[in-house]
Chain A
Amino acid sequence: MNIRHAKTFLFGALALSFLVSLGANYFNSYWLFISYDIGINIILAVSLNLINGYTGQFSLGHAGFMAVGAYTAAVITNQFGELNTFLSGTVFLGALLAGGVLAAVAGLLVGIPTLRLRGDYLAIVTLGFGEIIRVVLQNMNAVGGARGLSVMHGWTNFFWAFSFAAVTVYVVTALVHSTYGRGFIAVRDDEVTASAMGINPTKYKVTAFVIGAFFAGIAGGLYAHSKQFLTPGGFGFMQSISFVVMVILGGMGNTIGVIIAAVLLTLLPEFLRPVAEYRMIIYSLLLIVLMLTRPQGLFSFKKSPAK
């Protein structure tokens, strides 16, 4: 996806999101909540795509960053949400951003030690970090521990979810499709050669982790204010794997494909409702078949890089 007028796209998407949200009350509320999930999953998938797809760092701990953002935002709005109904938008934005920043810090903490690790090791370590975050949250009674945390304000709506989705898509795409951004792909394709061309692989990997984690944190905050109840168990590596599946299905490093995959995989449970008991079996079977037959993703039209 080559954006020539990237900022035009961004403002257009924000405006569109605002317009649609005006009419949101006329939509069926069940599907409305599903649409929030779509927006949130787009943020998660596109941000993970920066780490996994474009930079080639196989991260299996994305749900951990989401958890950090979710709990942070929830705690803030639970504390300060009552202040002033006129300021609720500002408080919400502040809470989301705070969640994103803390998640970004977590991304920094994860990124730095994992820098020199190869694909499979990196996967396990990131999975480990995700699990550590989950266990820590489970033991933090201040945020409800294993019993969960109630989120008082269900402030997530169409505008918030899709505006942030638009911002995420803009940031990732604008970043990658610049000369600077080619560095991410160079690190993925051939780290040694990239460094021989003056690229600092460490910096790019950490940057990818931090930016990816930031948006995962935002998505977490939006999620918290949609579901209005958080448990540490809901942010385990099963969640992380589901985001990874979106990235793989869409094609690693293919933003449009990943967006479509996020939409499809959010809607899939709805369509598989009649066979709900077999849903996860079908899901995992699909994953295996996909890897055996079309590992570059369903929507990727480029040759997968040979390694």
Chain B
Amino acid sequence: MSEFFQQLINGFAFGSILALIALGYTMVYGILRFINFAHGDVFMLGAFAGFYLAPKVATVFPIPSITGGLAVMAISMAICAAIGIVIEKLAYRPLRKRPKLTVLITAIGVSLLIEYTCQNSHVFGASPKSFPTLIPAYPIKLGALSLNSNQLVVLGVTLALLAALRFIVLKTKIGMAMRALAFNPEAAALMGINTDVVISFTFGLGSALAAAAGILFAVNYPSIDPLMGILPGLKAFVAAVLGGIGNLPGAALGGIIIGVTETFVAGYISSTYRDAIAFGILILILLIKPSGLLGKKEIEKV
């Protein structure tokens, strides 16, 4: 029984990371109706940013420590937010009026470009690097459960970020603009909303969350490499679809479901089929309820 709860916590931790990435996908899709293939790579860049930032931050805040860890995460998030905004401006904005397929292929190109550039020996190099300890880790014993404080950190930070996101989306002006844009882009523009600024902000926000996910992932699984974003990125996209693409709580829910399911299947059935689970779930949900668990049905106007 304790194994069950152990796996559950593991699943929640992994699922939280997926949720953070999924939010970025769902926000961008909600507004632009397109899958940002390169989003998973921003997750990777966040982890690497943390890797290179840690020694620099250590000169100001002690590493490992909570302040040090948070500082690294915050700066990482800022850097990746900027990267996300730049990518949008250079690669996606010129194609806004073009068929969706063109942008999709461009996104694939951007993703490949980031991955291969980072693999280059002059950049990060293809071999995995060891992520430094940002936050002191303690084993925690709750009855028969042996947990790691890192897992709780993941859950805690995720909840904090989700709360912050909720505040931004529901209670700020720009959040309202995001929701308006997602609902009806033309009307939003006619109402005087600067669509370019809102879109840039959305990309920045999503990228920041992905960066946070990257750091949290690296804290728990300290081996990072330039291709680490591919599978989590795909799984996070599935999570966004599962929850209902364009739906923020749905993305978070989807992330948790996939994280927990994958962990349980890997733990109790077979770990080699782990990567196929997310895709299996994707196919199931698209067959049964394509609008996702929390999504609404879209009717095509003829």
Residue numbers of A with Cβ under 8 A of B are: 58, 113-114, 116-117, 119-121, 123-125, 127-129, 131-132, 135-136, 138-139, 192, 241, 244, 248, 277-278, 280-281, 283-285, 287-288, 291-292, 295, 307
Q: Which 6 A-B pairs have the closest CB atoms?
A: A128-B279, A284-B112, A287-B109, A288-B109, A284-B113, A135-B276
Q: What are 6 A-B residue pairs whose CB atoms fall within 8 Å in the complex?
A: A117-B290, A128-B279, A136-B276, A241-B112, A281-B120, A292-B91
Q: Is the CB of B104 within 8 A of A125?
A: no
B170 at the interface (CB under 8 A from A): no
Contact of A120 among B100, B119, B290 (CB under 8 A): B100
C-alpha gap A46/B276 in the complex (Å): 29
Known: A128-B282, A139-B273, A278-B120. A113 touches B241 (CB 8 A): no
Within 8 Å CB of A123, what residues of B? Answer: 35, 104
Q: Is the CB of B34 within 8 A of A288?
A: no
Contact of A132 among B102, B105, B276 (CB under 8 A): B276
C-alpha gap A127/B104 in the complex (Å): 13
Contact of A288 among B110, B116, B238, B287 (CB under 8 A): B110
Q: Is the CB of B120 within 8 A of A277?
A: yes
Q: Is the CB of A131 within 8 A of B273?
A: no
Contact of A131 among B237, B279, B286 (CB under 8 A): B279
B95 at the interface (CB under 8 A from A): yes
C-alpha gap A284/B119 in the complex (Å): 13
Known: A131-B234, A285-B109, A292-B94. 7 other contacts (CB 8 A): A58-B104, A124-B234, A131-B279, A139-B270, A280-B116, A288-B106, A295-B102
Known: A58-B101, A283-B112. A129 touches B106 (CB 8 A): no
C-alpha gap A114/B287 in the complex (Å): 8
Chain B residues with a Cβ closer than 8 Å to the other chain, count: 44
Q: Is the CB of B273 within 8 A of A135?
A: yes
Q: Is the CB of B109 within 8 A of A284?
A: yes
The residue in B33, B100, B241, B279 that gathers the most chain A C-beta atoms within 10 A of its C-beta is B279
| Chain A proximity of B112: nearest CB distance (Å) | 4
Within 8 Å CB of B184, what residues of A? Answer: none
Known: A278-B120, A281-B117, A287-B109. A129 touches B91 (CB 8 A): no
A122 (CB) vs chain B CBs: closest residue:
B286
C-alpha gap A306/B300 in the complex (Å): 19
Known: A132-B276, A132-B279. A291 touches B112 (CB 8 A): no
C-alpha gap A307/B98 in the complex (Å): 8
| Chain B proximity of A259: nearest CB distance (Å) | 20
B121 at the interface (CB under 8 A from A): yes
B189 at the interface (CB under 8 A from A): no
C-alpha gap A288/B73 in the complex (Å): 30
Q: Is the CB of A121 within 8 A of B279?
A: no
Interface string of B105-130 (1 = CB under 8 A from A): 11011101100110111000000000
Q: Is the CB of B112 within 8 A of A280?
A: yes
Within 8 Å CB of A136, what residues of B? Answer: 276
Q: Is the CB of B280 within 8 A of A132?
A: yes
| Chain A proximity of B42: nearest CB distance (Å) | 16
Contact of A113 among B35, B119, B287 (CB under 8 A): B287
Q: Is the CB of A116 within 8 A of B272?
A: no
B144 at the interface (CB under 8 A from A): no
B99 at the interface (CB under 8 A from A): yes
| Chain B proximity of A306: nearest CB distance (Å) | 8
| Chain B proximity of A270: nearest CB distance (Å) | 19
B283 at the interface (CB under 8 A from A): yes
Within 8 Å CB of B1, what residues of A? Answer: none
Within 8 Å CB of A284, what residues of B? Answer: 109-110, 112-113, 116
A291 (CB) vs chain B CBs: closest residue:
B106
Contact of B286 among A117, A135, A280, A307 (CB under 8 A): A117
C-alpha gap A51/B35 in the complex (Å): 21
A238 (CB) vs chain B CBs: closest residue:
B112
| Chain B proximity of A33: nearest CB distance (Å) | 25
B91 (CB) vs chain A CBs: closest residue:
A288
Within 8 Å CB of A288, what residues of B? Answer: 91, 106, 109-110, 113
C-alpha gap A131/B234 in the complex (Å): 11
A244 (CB) vs chain B CBs: closest residue:
B105
B3 at the interface (CB under 8 A from A): no
Q: Is the CB of B276 within 8 A of A116?
A: no
Within 8 Å CB of B164, what residues of A? Answer: none
